[in-house]
Amino acid sequence: MTIFSPAELKNRQFELEDAFLSPFATKSSKTLGRETPEESCPLRTEFQRDRDRIIHSKAFRRLKHKTQVFFSPEDDHYRTRLTHTLEVAQISRTMARFLRLNEDLTEAIALGHDLGHTPFGHSGEAALDEIIEGGFRHSEQSVRVVRVVEPLNLTKETLDGILNHSMGISKAFTLEGQVVKLSDKIAYLNHDLDDAVRAGLIKISDIPQDIISYLGSNRGEMVNTMVTNIVMNSMDKNEIAMSSDCEEVMLSMRKWMFDNVYLDSKAKTEEGKIKRIIKELFNYYCAMLQDVSSEADRKEIELTVKDYIAGMTDRYAVKKYRQLFIPRPMTVSIDDNNLISLAKQNGVV
């Protein structure tokens, strides 16, 4: 039996990528590298290391207690920011495999794309956006998390994909990053629809018929239609995109979801309370840091507090708010001093 060294196994991985992957795929051996150069792993490729670093980060673990759409649901079957991330990764890898792209890079971007998301979902993001000079965007915060808050020294390809995963901003320069951007939309539209049905906000029959007739009558069919369309429309091309008709239907679905779910009064019931929690915590911690260091730069203080609050889970933010702003009942000390006094009188102690 032939025994290979780690370096030989890694080279075989490079050779397999060169032989199998699309000419438009990002090859692990051709990475642009890291902002801070470091010695490479003897076995893993750089994109595999990115994925592993993200999975083992504290920010990734906290995603399990961050809201996706419905704040702190009691039903365990609602999505969280973590399960959303896993669904994005699954959809992304499926498309990357059929398009012969680099699955490791695709997965790293998908797993890291929401690390900077706030507690309480988009309501928390909206609150910080109102407070922070220049606004707050979770995609930019995700990059800041892996560069500054919890420095992982990721590759430039992974950082670019994380930064450009949201709508309305630049397109990632790798096809793998472009895949994640579309996968994010596919994932949240369809699982948020599923959660909204579970919550009783809507029924599948409420969805306009033109959307149903094109995409399908349930979440699985809708995801499959979108994924298949992207794969067939992007095969052997240097761009990832839906066909124009599918994109039109998806955008119609997105608008319908905003009108009937994301901006629905039932889903937004707690938004005012959420914004108050975020803003009062922000003001409190800014004042606290100013007291600690009166000469500190105000912008640096606000940047620090933004990092702290954006990293909080829902329950931790509520816990801190309760500790700081909700009066606690006076507790009467119950001790055993009388017993000790009697013991002394009786010569026991």
68-98 pLDDT, tens digit per residue, is 887 766 678 889 999 999 999 999 999 999 9
Provide the pLDDT confidence category of residue 219 given band limits of 50, 70 and 90.
Answer: very high
Query: What is the overall mean pLDDT for the chain?
Result: 93
pLDDT the model gives residue 73: 62
Tokens at residue 141, please? 């915060």
How far lies 182's CA from each of 63, 110, 186, 252, in Å? 21, 11, 6, 15
Question: Which residues are 34's β-sheet partners?
Answer: 155
Say if residue 339's pLDDT is above 70: no
Q: Is the pLDDT of residue 217 over 70?
A: yes
Which residues, in sequence order, are CB contacts of 38 under 8 Å at separation 6+? 153
Q: If 0-12 CB within 10 Å is exposed, 13-18 middle and 19+ buried, where does residue 127 land?
A: buried
Q: For residue range 243-282, what is the model confidence (pLDDT) as tens digits?
A: 999 999 999 999 999 999 888 766 567 889 999 999 999 9
**Whole-structure pTM value:** 0.92
- On whether the CB atoms of residues 314 and 71 are closer than 8 A, the answer is yes
Q: Is the pLDDT of residue 333 over 90?
A: no
Cβ pair 121, 107 in contact under 8 A: no
Q: Is the pLDDT of residue 207 over 70?
A: yes
- Mean pLDDT check: name the lowest of 226-230, 253-257, 294-298: 294-298
Say whether pLDDT at 149 is over 90.
yes
pLDDT tens readout for residues 231-245? 999 999 999 999 999
Q: What is the mean pLDDT of residues 156-171?
A: 92
Tell me, letter by letter, the H, E, C secondary structure of the chain: CCCCCHHHHHHHHHHHHHHHCCCCCCCHHHCCCECCCCCCCCCCCHHHHHHHHHHCCHHHHHHHHCECCCCCCCCCCCCEHHHHHHHHHHHHHHHHHHCCCCHHHHHHHHHHCCCCCCCCHHHHHHHHHHHCCCCCCHHHHHHHHHHHHCCCCCEHHHHHHHHCCCCCCCCCCCHHHHHHHHHHHHHHHHHHHHHHHHHCCCCHHHCCHHHHHHHCCCHHHHHHHHHHHHHHHHCCCCCCCCCHHHHHHHHHHHHHHHHHHHCCCCCCCCHHHHHHHHHHHHHHHHHHHHHHCCCCCHHHHHHHHHHHHHCCCHHHHHHHHHHHHCCCCCCCCCCCHHHHHHHHHCCCC
Superfamily of domain 46-262: Hypothetical protein af1432 (1.10.3210.10)
> What local confidence, expressed as pLDDT, does residue 340 receive?
67
pLDDT at 21 over 70: yes
Would you kindly state where each structural domain of the chain is located, as residue ranges? 46-262, 271-325
Specify which residues 67 forms β-bridges with: 80
Encoding tokens for residue 7?
């370096």
Q: Which amino acid is at 10?
A: K
Of the pLDDT bands very low, low, confident and very high (cuts 50, 70, 90), residue 349 is low
The pLDDT, as a whole number, for residue 319 is: 95
User: CA torsion, points 30, 34, 36, 41, in degrees to nearest 10?
Assistant: -70
Contact 69, 267 (CB under 8 A): yes
% of the chain residues with pLDDT over 70 = 94
d(CA 152, CA 272): 35
Q: What is the per-residue pLDDT across 165-200, written as a single tens digit (0 to 9) for each?
A: 997 778 999 999 999 999 999 999 999 999 999 988
pLDDT(22) > 70: yes
What pLDDT, on a 0 to 100 scale, did the predictor assign at position 271? 87
How far is 108 from 110, CA to CA, in rounded Å? 5
